[in-house]
Structure 1
Amino acid sequence: MNTNNEIPQEELLKKRAESIKTMFGSIVRVYDFLNALLSLNFDKSWRKFAAKTSGVKPNTKVLDVCTGTGDLAISYSKLLNGNGLVVGSDYCHDMLRYGLPKIKKRHLENKIKLIEADTLQLPFRDNAFEISTVAFGIRNVADLDAGIKEMRRVIRPNGRVVILEFSQPTNFLFRQIYFFYFTRILPMIGRLISQSKIDAYKYLPHSVLAFPDKLSLKRKMELCGLEDVKIFERTLGIVTIHIGKKP
């Protein structure tokens, strides 16, 4: 039974989810370009590394939540080389609409299925996949713990949850330089290029700074029922990849 305190929290989470959905829908036309800008053009190599490191094998079923325009799903499908299935889900319909032509261009439409779905309420049975993965999307999920638990729920025992996310660089000097670019230069460029009234690229740096650090995220994954969580840093700690196993 809901308590009086739970009802406002549920409404708050719903409003946040709708706000983020609207925000990403407003920048969908330039989303891929701005991702490259945000990542200093390392984003594709990070996704490829995450997919390879996850231990994907032939005939694996992979779920990529918060798939956006499908870049990580494409990386997985290429590794599977036609032997397996990748499902990409996203809460934002416009993202999926822009991702589909990319998939068709690579002749992967029979290997990658895109569906509109909320990561907090995935429309899949328990233990349906071997791997559930997310790139640069889990920090935008309204309830982080619930999102991780859903990713865990839909994978089989010994399956893996893979989280690729922006982090805070460990080198002090590089961190100062990167944060200046991240919080000052990037939002200005992003706003000019996207021409959106919704300041998504001001939100993104703040969302990264507010996100749990790598050790806190590791602990959170463990508390959500994952074990043997491993951390991989890339590009001086700009991003980290967390991989946890379902018992």
Structure 2
Amino acid sequence: MSKTTHFGYETVSTTEKTERVGEVFASVASRYDVMNDLMSMGIHRVWKRFTIDLAAVRPGERVLDLASGTCDLAGKFARQVGPQGQVIASDINASMLSVGRDRMMDRGIVQAMDYVLANAEELPFPTDHFDCVTMAFGLRNVTDKDAALAEIQRVTRPGGRALILEFSKPTSAGFGKLYDEYSFKVLPRLGRYVAKDEASYRYLAESIRMHPDQDTLKGMMETAGFLRCQYYNLAGGICAVHRGFGA
């Protein structure tokens, strides 16, 4: 019997989820940045900046940015590590990775950058290899989150940092109700008119609700073997950055 998981609010086979998530991001890849700005009113840039600062990447380090998408984080890290460092932008979706690579080339960010098409559940990298591993707005789309966290821990060197930036659970019930109204009424309409894809953005809203809350994800990182795990709530818990250190 095949294993099942969630695709938004639907229960589907693990194979079907992987395929359907791929279809979602292939559909929205060309308009991904525009939609992020509209959905968050530009605040996602502040959240990413906070994550980059928390990562504290230094010259010469090796960095892996998973679910790199349009390479917002990877491009910043490439400038920080300099010519002696390495940044690998990795994504499971070829369309997203292609958009990210083209974007970096257009901006002249070629130094220290490599691109790898890979599944976060089975990373093709050596153990204890990276000084820092990041994943922004990607973990909730992974079919087996525990497997992905275990792989991230495996490739993070002892003392290295792993940071997960992801939508989470609002800390205020009243604010949470307003957030639900926005997510399930406004967001799909933005998807319909801007990205020409209402269904994909309805899935994205549902996937956020199905994602583990802050404390649950912290516990999952600890189970995966990370040390000194903690999280930082942003925008009243709409988003959170989790950080752990390699063992």
Q: Displacement of 1:20 after TM fit?
A: 0.4
For 1:185, the equivalent position in structure 2 comes to 186
Q: Displacement of 1:99 after TM fit?
A: 1.0
The one-letter code of the counterpart of 1:143 is D
For 2:7, the equivalent position in structure 1 comes to none
Q: Displacement of 1:82 after TM fit?
A: 4.5
What TM-score do the two structures reach when normalised by structure 2? Answer: 0.91
Q: How does 1:236-247 map to 2 (within 5 A)?
A: 236-247=236-247
Q: In structure 2, what is the Cα distance between the partners aligned to 1:168 and 1:41?
A: 19
Bigger Cα displacement from structure 2, 140-149 vs 225-234: 225-234
1:95 aligns with 2:67: no
What TM-score do the two structures reach when normalised by structure 1? Answer: 0.91
Q: Displacement of 1:246 after TM fit?
A: 1.4
Q: Displacement of 1:216 after TM fit?
A: 0.6
Gaps of 5+ in 2: 5-11
What are the Cα deviations for residues 43-101 of structure 1, in whole angstroms up to 9, with x where unaligned?
A: 11211110111232221111011111111212322333555221011111111111112
Q: In structure 2, what is the Cα distance between the partners aligned to 1:76 and 1:38?
A: 25
For 2:226, the equivalent position in structure 1 comes to 226
The one-letter code of the counterpart of 2:179 is Y
Q: In structure 2, what is the Cα distance between the partners aligned to 1:41 and 1:183?
A: 19
Q: How does 1:87-236 map to 2 (within 5 A)?
A: 87-196=88-197, 199-236=199-236
Contact 1:47 1:75 in 2 (8 A): no
What are the Cα deviations for residues 109-138 of structure 1, in whole angstroms up to 9, with x where unaligned?
A: 122211111111111111111111100001
Candidates 3, 14, 29, aligned match of 1:9:
3
For 2:79, the equivalent position in structure 1 comes to 78
For 1:23, the equivalent position in structure 2 comes to 24
Q: In structure 2, what is the Cα distance between the partners aligned to 1:226 and 1:39?
A: 30
What are the Cα deviations for residues 185-230 of structure 1, in whole angstroms up to 9, with x where unaligned?
A: 111111221113x711000111111111001100111011111001
Q: In structure 2, what is the Cα distance between the partners aligned to 1:163 and 1:13?
A: 22
The one-letter code of the counterpart of 1:220 is M
Contact 2:163 2:241 in 1 (8 A): yes
Contact 2:81 2:112 in 1 (8 A): no
Q: In structure 1, what is the Cα distance between the partners aligned to 2:14 and 2:132?
A: 26
Bigger Cα displacement from structure 2, 52-61 vs 204-213: 52-61
Number of residue pairs the alignment of both structures matches: 240
Q: In structure 2, what is the Cα distance between the partners aligned to 1:183 and 1:211?
A: 16
Identity of aligned residues (%): 33
Contact 2:78 2:111 in 1 (8 A): no
Q: In structure 2, what is the Cα distance between the partners aligned to 1:78 and 1:35?
A: 23
Q: Displacement of 1:239 after TM fit?
A: 0.7
Q: In structure 1, what is the Cα distance between the partners aligned to 2:67 and 2:20?
A: 15
